[in-house]
Each structure stands twice: as C-alpha cells, then as structure tokens.
Amino acid sequence: MKVFAEYFRGFRAIEVDLEKLVFLVGDNSSGKSSILHLVDSVLRGGLSSPPVLNEELGVGEYDYFSPYFGSADVTFGFSTGVGEDFFCKVVTVKNRKDRPPEIIRCSYLTNRTLITCKKTPSAGQARIISDVDDVGFHRIIELHNETTGFNLSGRPPRGISFGEPTIIFSLIPYDKIKDGNAFLDRIFGEISGARLISPIRALPEKFYSASRKITALGLHFAPMWHDFSGLKSKFNFDAVRAFGLESGLFEDIKVKKISSRVPDSPLIVSVVKSNKEFFLNQVGVGVSQVVPILVETVYALRNKPKLAILVQQPELHLHPVAQAALGSFFHRSYRDGLRGILETHSSFLIDRFRSDLRDQNDLKIDAEELASPKDLLILFCENGPEGNTAYEVDIEHNGALSGEPDAFHTFFVDEMLRTML
C-alpha cells in the first residue's frame, strides 16, 4: 500500500510506500512527523471523510493546510495492489475557514477505469475515464484534478461526505460502470491498518489498568503483553529478550494481575534483572519508553493481516548501547516481515541495522546481486524556503547507502566532527 498527498502541511507532494520498512530521518521541522500524521490519518479513516489528525500528538484535528501553499486545498490518496488488482482512492479536502473542512472531489481508480465525483453548489457531477495507463501518483492526481468531462449529474443525499462510496450511485447509472460488481467490491473493501506510537510514551507506573483502549502513549502495552503471554504458541518473545539482554535493560518482562479473581484487575509489570524482579518504575524511564514499541512490533508481525507500525523516536531515553541493540531488534523484525515507518534521530540505530543487514548477506549474495532491497528505504526530509522535501536513499544488501543528497551526511556527521580533537 502507498499513501500520498499534495499540499499537505509542508509538502507540495509526498508519497510513502508501506510495503517497505522506511527509516524517516531529517532535521527538526523538516516534515518527519507530518509524514506519520499523513499515513495514520489516511489509514484510520479510509478517506470516507476528511482525514482527522491524532490530537494526542499535539496537533489540531485538521491541521494540514499549509502557509507554504497559501492554505490551498489538500489532496490525499492511497493505492494498493498491482496490475489487475490495482486500486486507488483520491480525495480533495477544501479549507473552510468558518467551518470544518469537507471533501469536494473523490476519485476511484481500478481496472484502468477512473471515476471522479465532485461537489457543486447545488448537486454533484461525475465522469468516467477509461483505459488509464499510467498509475504513478503524480499522474493520478493530475487526472483527479482535471476539470473537463463531467457529463453525469445528480443530487446526492444531504449531509453525506463526498468521500463515501455511496455518492457514486446517486450520480452514475450502474450499467455505465465497467465490471460493476468488481468495482463495488474494491471501493467497499477494507484497507490495511497501522499502529501509531508517539515520541512521548507514558511514564512508568506501579500498577496498570486492564483497559485495552489503544493510545499513542502506549499504556495499553500491559494488557497486550498479558494477553500475549497466554498465547505462547502464537507469540514468541525471543527477539524482545535478545534486545533486553544486549541493551542491559532486562532479562525478561512479566505482567500479572493483582488478583486472578477480578476480571479487570489492575496489572503489575515487573522487569527481571540479575534474576530479581523489579517494578517497572524502579528501573528507569528508558524501559517504559521502549517496551510499548517492542510489544506493538510483536503484535504487528503476528496479526493477520500484518500491520504497519508508525513509530516516532523509538530511541527516546535510551543509551547509545540500547539504541544500537534496538537497531538489531528492528533488523530481526524486518527479516520476519516488519513494515512501516521508523522516525529516528539515532545514527546508532540505523548503523546497527545496516551492519546486521551486511552480516546477514555477506555469504549469501554474489556481488552482482548487491542491489537495493525492494522493501527497505531511508526517507531523508529537508526543510527549505518553499517547504519540505523528502529524498529517497537506498540501502543496499551490503548495508551501503546510495542516492543520498549532500545534506544527509551533514545531518549525521557535523556533531561528531566537532568532538574530534
């Protein structure tokens, strides 16, 4: 699945491929958090209504219109599949200064047929474009934005968002839709999910609620871990324990109820170190910051279908040794199929991931095959006078980088050079 947008926050145009594991790096205010907001909001709502940003992360729910572009209307989209299975949805959200924003145009593309519906002051109009060849996101947005060819019209029900698929039926006769049944299956289908973990996780507590309500703060990790522990055949924690040992943070993590006779009994999280058990709030804030990430990663890999994870600053409050160990944890998870976005400032994390990638492939791949993995990428974000830009930096099978802009090395190396005598 790919998620893309035009005029979103600081980006004139941005596309993210969630079939990859993406490391998101860049200076402050370069758009890294914006990319996570984009992916999270699109996948949560499926573009049936205007995307809503996660206010837990300190933004307004519709905080995506940018002064860089004169607060222009924002286009959002996602696509899945390839060939005959390709499906894409695109919406334009209009900035309404006196009321919440609304979707004024929506397009669906599947089986080389593009259907666009747009809102007019009194009703709605639609058009059908057949034999669409180029399905790159720039071309899709261009077709979506075209103003000609709207020769179908009708009056959709009042109060229904133009992102709702049902709008189509009030504007287009069913017999005009090519392969109508297959088209309906696609536009009403589910899209893949993702789990967002904020950079500020909850502080350690002595007792945790049994509530499984998912929040970006990560407090739900305790009941999740407790549930996993009862499903040993499905969930294994070898990678988690390996991280704990290498980082020196723990040997094991245990979660148990205060009372087994109370269904929603509060939970106690304990950390095993040197064969002794400690409450989570007795071993430092670093453990409580990283454990929600470990738990969500295990869950993302074992869920069917697998989920993408969206993590901001997984290295927060971790010593460089633990940051490097986290790089190994993510490499092992990547080999197991982990996909999503890791937004990080840690060169220790990325460099360990790259070295593990190199060591894994040293004896397995001929020199001719040392191309970039198709499912691994660094997105380097940079801020400039005209807004933000994201550059794709390939990670090759031997861990080397290719295609990086000059500023990429400046970002990681400047501070290191200042410390050299």
Residue 339 lies in a domain: yes
105 and 131 both lie in a single domain:
yes
pLDDT averaged over every residue in the chain: 87
Sequence-separated (6 or more) residues with CB below 8 Å from residue 197: 216, 218, 292, 293, 296, 309, 310, 311, 312, 314
pLDDT one-digit tens code per residue, 325-381: 999 999 999 999 999 999 999 999 999 999 999 998 765 655 445 567 889 999 999
Residue 150 and residue 206 in one domain: no
- Which pLDDT belongs to residue 380? 95
The reply to whether 8 falls in a domain is no
| Residues 190, 80: Cα–Cα separation, whole Å | 11
Q: Is residue 277 part of a domain?
A: yes
The verdict on residue 147 lying in a domain is yes
In this structure, are 346 and 309 located in the same domain?
yes
pLDDT, tens only, 16-44: 999 999 999 998 889 999 999 999 999 98
Q: Nearest Cα to 308, choosing from 195, 141, 188?
A: 195
Say if residue 212 is in the same domain as residue 149: no
The string of pLDDT tens digits covering residues 169-178 is 889 887 777 7
Does a structural domain hold residue 57?
yes
Residue 304 has pLDDT above 70, yes or no: yes
Query: 224 with 347, same domain?
Result: yes
Residue 177 pLDDT = 78
Q: Assess whether pLDDT exceeds 90 at residue 105.
A: yes
* Residue 51 reports pLDDT greater than 60: yes
Bond preceding residue 199 cis, omega within 30 of 0: no
- Residue 198 Cα distances to 293, 309, 343, angstroms: 10, 11, 10
Percent of the chain with pLDDT over 90: 48
Token pair for residue 195?
């789990």
Do residues 401 and 378 lie in contact, with contact meaning Cβ atoms separated by under 8 Å?
yes
Residue 121 has pLDDT above 90, yes or no: no
pLDDT given for residue 365 in this prediction: 54
**Residue 178 domain boundaries:** 47-187
Q: Above 60 in pLDDT, residue 416?
A: no
Answer yes or no: is 23 within a domain: no
User: In the structure, what pLDDT confidence band is assigned to residue 415 with cuts at 50, 70 and 90?
Assistant: low
Give this prediction's pTM. 0.90
Residue type, 398: N
pLDDT of 366: 55
CATH of the domain at 400: 3.40.50.300
